[in-house]
A and B are shown apart, each in its own frame.
Chain A
């Protein structure tokens, strides 16, 4: 399990967390070799999660592009409505194996908080979730879901009151509670071993894409597209495809388009945030910049360190999509396919359509539809971009 991805990654944390991270790495190394743990993970994924998720041909949406076929990897159909289940389940089982008695998590859009609350309930582990006050307002349905699932939601009122501050608060809790508590970090970010471990748990997405595309059309897709905030659904999609010729495209949030949005890979520079050396949106003094995006789940000033390496090496191409473009893609998919996508993968849908347009009809583009859009209805309706056909 790599501590670094090229120059990126590492574990820049207070000393109090060092033994806990070492314990976590040992536990994960032993669990991933343990057939009992692996079969338990598969069983829960199937029986509670609903894996495997379908690979769906979005024929009407593809016609809108008029080029390549667009297929959707339906992580929105996973239990809880997002890919976050994969990681929350894996870490929950690991926490139980380590004898931890309490789970904490941060959440931006609320999907990871919901997933952790579900797993906490299923495994009988009390769960507390940190969420920025701004996100609590814009993703209210997910807050209610977490509370109904028995979790405690702590509003975070520092700074811009979004995902970055929620991670700060969860890390501070963990520094004080590390003996009894596991921090279920929700994305492929943070100190080692989180980026590698989260990638392992999310790679089921890419492995299923490989198997399903072979079964459906006999080979891998030509292009795989996923949205990138911290980057967990993207790394899960990309990782099993890294050693293949499949083209990979990561899509960051460009916000309104008049600033940096939340595009750390395309607008940031290397720095250290939340325990990792990675691309960070920061000013000349090394202070982390405020981000803005219509999607709470992409609204983050840094990115997983493996993405930083993949950008530096050129293996993955990263682009930025604005709020208004993502909102258009949201409506297109809803009207064309009867699927309400979350605003996060709506960014990937827009970029995928743009790419498909330039490609021949027989080529195939897979987009990871990382979550469903029920949580976003209020934001979408507020933007008023809906026009009846």
Chain B
């Protein structure tokens, strides 16, 4: 079956007034065998899409949980080829974006990497260390492969720049909830978040704005929705859950309340 496009899926939900939950999964060669069950669990729980993470040796935007996940994945010999294989599995069930740092993509070659991601059903590329100002060549390569490039904004981003980020972003706008790395930090400043969501919506009314970093449970997701965002992204908390219990049932049970909070 043809892969579903993430941008389309998110846009459809947004148009219907429905919120979305995205889930980040670190690609790990040692987890290859249980990925189909996990992907099925995610789909059954009602998750809108998956971000597949490519491990990098120096993940500066990641907190302790995803740092150790990346180190473990690299220790298991995870390579670019494992990402393509994981994409094949995941897009059977859900639309998928790929999230990684600049260097693994650059080393692969921008055009080649983007072409491969698209050929394996990927919808979008998210690069936390490629800011808007360096994004040009990456966007050009992605555009040629019909791949979206998701820009990221943060509470530190001035409002006019949020509008610029929203105008340039494709697929959705990734709004970082708080100062700090993934899975860490203080409670988000909801007013600051809402101002940024609203600025993005004014600039691009149809573009979904999803909020991630430090999202742990349904109350976080409800707060994010109350700040007018179109959904939330779950990373470190999902990784911790998978370490404890990587079955489809457990995944579905864990995500159910989060999906409902996002809706």
Contacts and interface: CB of A to CB of B under 8 A. Distances in A.
A176 B61 contact: no
B180 A175 contact: yes
Contact of A272 (B79, B106, B161, B176): B106
Interface residues of A, number: 35
Interface stretch (B34-42, B114-122, B126-134, B254-262): B126-134
A16 to B, nearest CB: 4
B103 A15 contact: no
Given A14-B154, A16-B176, A159-B71, A164 B181 contact: no
Contact of B60 (A15, A172, A178): A172
Interface string A277-320: 00010101111100000000000000000000000000000000
Given A12-B130, A15-B154, A19-B156, A287 B180 contact: no
B104 A287 contact: yes
Nearest to B113: A286
A19 B158 contact: yes
Contact of B131 (A12, A168, A172, A175): A12
Nearest to B102: A272
Interface in A157-175: 158-159, 164-165, 168, 171-172, 175
Nearest to A12: B129
A176 B129 contact: no
A126 to B, nearest CB: 18
A336 interface: no
Contact of B103 (A20, A158, A271): A271
Is the interface on chain B under 10, 10 to 19, 20 to 34, or 35 or more residues? 35 or more
B64 to A, nearest CB: 9
Contacts of A17: 156
A171 B180 CA distance: 10
A287 B74 contact: yes
Given A12-B131, A177-B179, A272 B103 contact: yes
B181 A175 contact: yes
A179 B60 contact: no
Interface in B77-113: 79-80, 101-108
Given A272-B103, A285-B104, A286-B105, 5 more contacts: A14-B60, A14-B129, A14-B154, A18-B157, A172-B60
Interface of B: 56-63, 67, 71, 74, 79-80, 101-108, 128-134, 151-158, 161, 165, 176, 179-181, 184-185
15 contacts: A12-B131, A14-B128, A14-B176, A15-B154, A20-B156, A159-B58, A159-B71, A172-B62, A176-B180, A177-B179, A178-B156, A274-B60, A285-B107, A287-B57, A288-B103
